Amino acid sequence: MSVDILRSAIRRAKFTPFPAPVTAAQAQINRLQDQVRELERRLADSAAENKRLDEASRKAAEEMVRLGNLAEMVKILAQGPAVVRQIGRTLRIQRTVAEYYGLTVNDLLSSRCHAATVWARHVAMYLAKEETTHSLTEIARRFRKKDHSCVWHAISRVQRAVAESGKRAAEIAEIRGKL
């Protein structure tokens, strides 16, 4: 009986006891807005941290933004300056190798199978493993490859070529000198 009294009082006050139901689309919009606010907050925090990084690290972050890897950049920046420096080193290796062989970084990251492009990509993966502390899986991600086996194959192929040819060893040494 007290429920009936409460209902009649609510009707008299013309008060709705519950908020209007939120549609699924509105709920999704609200979640996305919250995620955008969180992303903006993290970017602001990351930007403050980024000011303290050296020039190479800032260039690495700019390169990731230029290549459209904003979500990946946010994840990396959240891990700290040391990781950003390693990523910057990998990007520098990619740029240096691409310039040496007359390619673009996008050529290195593409799935093209031209011999010159493949060799340059393998050299860049080899140098990334030699010059950074990245795992094979992480290097594969930096080169847009499926898994670590692509990197492992590239490294073994370059090592074999360097052992067999002084010309290839000189190439690698020259590129390493430009890093």
**CA 84 – CA 61 distance, rounded (Å):** 8
Sequence spans of domains, the chain: 81-178
Of 135, 128, 45, nearest in space to 91 by CA: 128
d(CA 86, CA 155): 19
Token pair, residue 43, equals 């970017």
pTM of this structure: 0.55
Domain 81-178 CATH class label: mainly alpha
Q: What is the pLDDT along the chain (179 residues), one digit of tens a residue?
A: 555 665 666 566 555 555 555 577 677 777 777 777 777 777 777 766 656 555 556 666 666 666 555 566 666 666 666 655 666 778 888 888 988 998 888 888 888 788 888 899 999 999 988 888 888 888 888 888 777 888 899 899 999 999 988 888 888 888 888 87
